[in-house]
Structure 1
Amino acid sequence: MTFSLLGRCARTGQIGAAGATSDIGVGARIQHVAGGGGAVLTQHRTDPRLGPRGLALLRSGCSAVETVAALVASTAHAEWRQLAALDAAGRTAHHHGARVKPARAAAHGRDCVATGNILSNEAVPEAMRRAFEAEPDAPLGDRLLAALVAGEAAGGEHGPVLSAVLEVHGGHDFALADLRVDRAAAPIAELAGLWRDYAPKIDEFVLRATDPDRARGGASGGLEISA
């Protein structure tokens, strides 16, 4: 009951994930992203422990294929897991356990992999791949969101979607964007609104962290209340 995509921007090196599900709080469970390292999805009967384990493998130099193979080999319940990985070079891999419920599917493209379970039809991940690849020069967050919108338009999953997530990492050890709608009637539309408001602020938020003297109001002294 989840459809999601991992994607990389070849121009900037940014890596991110987007996903949606008919349960609450999808962003707390499925995506694990590391700037410069890669990303992992763990879903269906989700085991969040596999995410950090996968990122450690990617950081150690394992490819996406090697990472997914190691995760499958190291869990006692691989038949319940749906996994995907994207490494820093843009290579991808996925795993569908034998007990992952249909419709289930995956689609691999340039710097991206989309996957889903309990889908309305097997064409959903392919629609997400096409949308992600359509504008390769667009900001990564825009492309991830376009993939999510396309997945929903292609049929999404069997049940009504309740939660959605968009996460983007760059060259820092913190997320450039980590936006979540945990329960809503139209979570993907709400997520799109959050991204429209948040995206223009990203550079300023990074500056506050990395060079606060240059941030707006950074040299004024006194008490400043800001995020």
Structure 2
Amino acid sequence: MKPGNYGLIGPNAAGKTHYLRSRFTHGAAFVPAAADAHFAGRTVADHLRAAHAVRPLNDDLLADFNPGAKIRDLSVGQRRLLTICTALAAEEDLLLLDEPFDGLDVDNRARIRELLIDTYTPERTMIIASHRSDDLAGLVDSVITVFDQEVSEPISLDKVRRNFPTLLGRKDEVRQLVEKRKVVREDVLGPTVRVTFAEPLDHPSATYPSDQELIDLLASGKANR
């Protein structure tokens, strides 16, 4: 897998965590889902001391944490930031994040997104697992879909975007095209209809999905039906 940011998306229990764990080898940093996270010792200092014993860390990414703070007193968001910052501070070539935004409030979600963007480096491979497209949009360039333990090859968003054109127009006009092409979504809006196709379309009024919309289409499996 080439360096870059990848989104691993699929429904709960589809096999995302299993896939991440299968990639966890020497030279990788793994951040488990919040419910599976464990901390060493009673304080932040204890945890970071144990992490330093495993591999050297870039302390600049850990400077905002109070070493004397007790782990039990940290909020959910603070614990999540601690696990992610510790993984980033290891500066490994592969970073694996399992549902990093799950259960967080808006402020902490924003902080983690900013952290991942600010620490981006083109030499690193980052795989973020989530069941929500809004977690991934703006952070990843490619997605890997998981359905019933079946894992796809990485799909470049920019390369497949034009495979999903959308037309909005009069029902009779748009449906003439629908009869000849594969459709993944159709919404009736009074006298008009909005249709998203699953193949390229040479039409001057065609529009194309945003990253979040495209990830939703790929994650739903409709694109392959």
Tell me, yes or no, whether TM beats 0.5.
no
TM-score (norm 1): 0.31
> Which structure has more helix as a fraction of its residues?
2
> TM-score, normalized by length of structure 2?
0.31
**Higher strand proportion (structure 1 or 2):** 1
